[in-house]
Amino acid sequence: MNNFTFKCPTKVVFGKNSVEQLPTLLPKDAKILLFYGGGSIKRNGVYDAVIKELKGHKFVEFSGIEPNPKYETCMQAVKLIKDENVDFILSVGGGSALDAAKFIAAAAVLEAGDPWEEIIIKAKPITKTLPVGDVITLPATGSEMNGISVISHKEKGLKFAWSSELAYPVFSIIDPTYTFSLPQRQTTNGIVDTFAHIMEQYCTYDVDTPVQDGFCLSVIKTIVKEGPKVLANPQDYNARANIFWAATCGLNGWCGVGVIQDWASHGIGHELSAIYGLDHGQSLAVVLPAVLEYCVKEKAQKLALLGREVFALEGDELDVAKRTVDKIKEFFLSIEAQIKLSDFGVDKNDAAKQISERFKERGTVLGERANIDAKATKEILLSC
C-alpha cells in the first residue's frame, strides 16, 4: 500500500426530508448565493423546499449553469457574487452545478490573474475560497463529498478537472426522493459515471490493498444489482438510496487511498465532451470498455477478480478478464447506455484524429502505467 493522507471535512445529511436541516447548517448572518442549473428543481419541488428553509436568510439567485459547466457562465456568477457581497454559496442540483459552485467560490476571491489560467491551467495552490454547501439531486459525480471540480471553456474548446482541499463542500444534503423524477438519461449517466469512478481507482495494478479492493468490489456489486432496479421502478426508495450512496462513496477518497489510479477513460472522455458535447456519462460508457479492452493484459488480475466476484465468471485469468469487459458492456446496455460513438452521430475517425492530435501537442500521457499516449488514444477511439 502506498503512503496517503486522508481528510474529508464535509458533513453529510442523508435521507428523507433532510432538507429540513438546512437552517441549522447555514451561517446565520451570511449573504447566500442560491446557485442552480436549469428548471428541473422548480418542476420537481426541490426549489420550493429549499426556498421554504431559507426563510429569514438573505440570498440572491443565479441560474442557468450547464450540464458541462462553462467557464464563461461561471464568471457571470463571479460578477454577481462581487456585486452583491455574497459570502456563502448554496448549490442546488447535480454535480455540474456543484462543480461550478466550487470554481466560482475560488474565482471570486482570487486576488490576481485569470481564474481559468491560475486555478485550472497553472493549478496554483488555492489559499482561500468562499464556503459552499449543497443540496445534491443527482447521484453521479461524487462532488458532494470531495474537493474536485470539472469546468469547460467554450471558447477554447477545453474541459479540465482541478482540485483543492479547500473546495470540499461544508455540508451536503442528500435526499434520495429527489431522484424519483430524474429522466432515464440522467439516471443512466449517473450510474455509468459512478461505475467508471470505481474502475479508475480499482482496475490498475495490485499494491496489496485488500480493504480498498474489497470496498470497490462491494460498491460495484451494488451498482450492478441496484442500477436496473431504479430504471424499472424509479420510485424504489431503497434502490435510489443505495445508488446515491454508491455514487458518493465512489469519489470521496475511500476507494482511492493508497492505491495506484488510472483516469485514462476520464481524460479521453473529457475531450469527447469538449469537442462533441457528449454528456460526461455518455462519454464514459463509450470509452471505459475500450480502454479496458486495450489494456486487458496489464489489468487482467483486477479484471478477473471483478469478473469472479461480481459476475460469477470462471476460467483462467486472462480469459475471465476479457469476458469481464464483455459483461461490463452488457451491463451498460442493460441500463440503456449507448456504447458506440456512432450512437451519438460522432465519426470515430474524426474523434481519433482530433483527440490524438491534441494529446500529441500537449504531450499528454494517461493511465496508471503512463502508457496511453497519443498513438494509443487513437487506437482506443478507433475501436469505439
208 and 164 part of one domain: no
Kindly state the average pLDDT of the residues 306-333.
98
Q: In this model, does residue 304 exceed pLDDT 90?
A: yes
CATH code of the domain in which 95 resides:
3.40.50.1970
Kindly state the average pLDDT of the residues 304-310.
98
Compute the distance between CA of residue 152 and CA of residue 158 in angstroms, rounded to an integer: 6
For 35-54, how does the pLDDT look when each residue is reduced to its tens digit (9 = 90+)?
999 888 998 899 999 999 99
Q: In this model, does residue 300 exceed pLDDT 90?
A: yes
166 and 18 part of one domain: yes
For 160-195, how does the pLDDT look when each residue is reduced to its tens digit (9 = 90+)?
999 999 999 999 999 999 999 999 999 999 999 999
Compute the distance between CA of residue 264 and CA of residue 269 in angstroms, rounded to an integer: 8
62 and 164 part of one domain: yes
For 274-296, how does the pLDDT look when each residue is reduced to its tens digit (9 = 90+)?
999 999 999 999 999 999 999 99
Tell me what percent of the residues of the chain surpass a pLDDT of 90: 96
Map residue 129 onto helix, strand or coil: coil
φ/ψ of residue 258, rounded to 5: 75, 5
Are the C-beta atoms of 120 and 151 separated by less than 8 Å?
yes
**With bands split at pLDDT 50, 70 and 90, how would you rate the model's confidence at 139?**
very high
100 and 228 part of one domain: no
Are the C-beta atoms of 156 and 114 separated by less than 8 Å?
no
Question: Domain for residue 369, yes or no?
Answer: yes
Question: CB-based contacts of 382: which residues, under 8 Å, 6+ apart?
Answer: 348, 349, 352
Identify the domain boundary among 177, 211, 245. 177
Identify the domain boundary among 124, 143, 177. 177
Domain total in the chain: 2
Question: Domain for residue 365, yes or no?
Answer: yes
Question: Domain for residue 3, yes or no?
Answer: no
Question: Domain for residue 82, yes or no?
Answer: yes
**With bands split at pLDDT 50, 70 and 90, how would you rate the model's confidence at 213?**
very high
Q: What's residue 65's pLDDT?
A: 93
206 and 73 part of one domain: no
Question: Domain for residue 355, yes or no?
Answer: yes
198 and 337 part of one domain: yes
Q: What's residue 381's pLDDT?
A: 98
φ/ψ of residue 136, rounded to 5: -90, 135
Grid coordinates representing 300? 487482467
286 burial type by CB count under 10 A (0-12 exposed, 13-18 middle, 19+ buried): buried
Question: Domain for residue 4, yes or no?
Answer: no
H or E element: which one contains 290?
Answer: helix 280-294
292 and 149 part of one domain: no
For 2-48, how does the pLDDT look when each residue is reduced to its tens digit (9 = 90+)?
999 999 999 999 999 999 999 999 999 999 999 999 888 998 899 99
Compute the distance between CA of residue 190 and CA of residue 173 in angstroms, rounded to an integer: 18
CATH code of the domain in which 194 resides:
1.20.1090.10
54 burial type by CB count under 10 A (0-12 exposed, 13-18 middle, 19+ buried): middle
**With bands split at pLDDT 50, 70 and 90, how would you rate the model's confidence at 249?**
very high
Kindly state the average pLDDT of the residues 327-346.
98
Compute the distance between CA of residue 151 and CA of residue 270 in angstroms, rounded to an integer: 10
Instruction: Please state, in angstroms and as integers, the Cα–Cα distance from residue 212 to each residue in 4, 81, 208, 261, following that order.
Output: 13, 40, 9, 12
218 and 141 part of one domain: no
167 and 280 part of one domain: no
Question: Domain for residue 348, yes or no?
Answer: yes
Compute the distance between CA of residue 196 and CA of residue 255 in angstroms, rounded to an integer: 12
Amino acid, single-letter form, for residue 155: E
155 and 191 part of one domain: no
Domain span at 260: 182-382
158 and 241 part of one domain: no
125 and 49 part of one domain: yes
Q: In this model, does residue 370 exceed pLDDT 90?
A: yes
Question: Domain for residue 5, yes or no?
Answer: no
Compute the distance between CA of residue 125 and CA of residue 114 in angstroms, rounded to an integer: 14
Nearest to 67 by CA among 281, 271, 258: 281
Identify the domain boundary among 114, 148, 177. 177
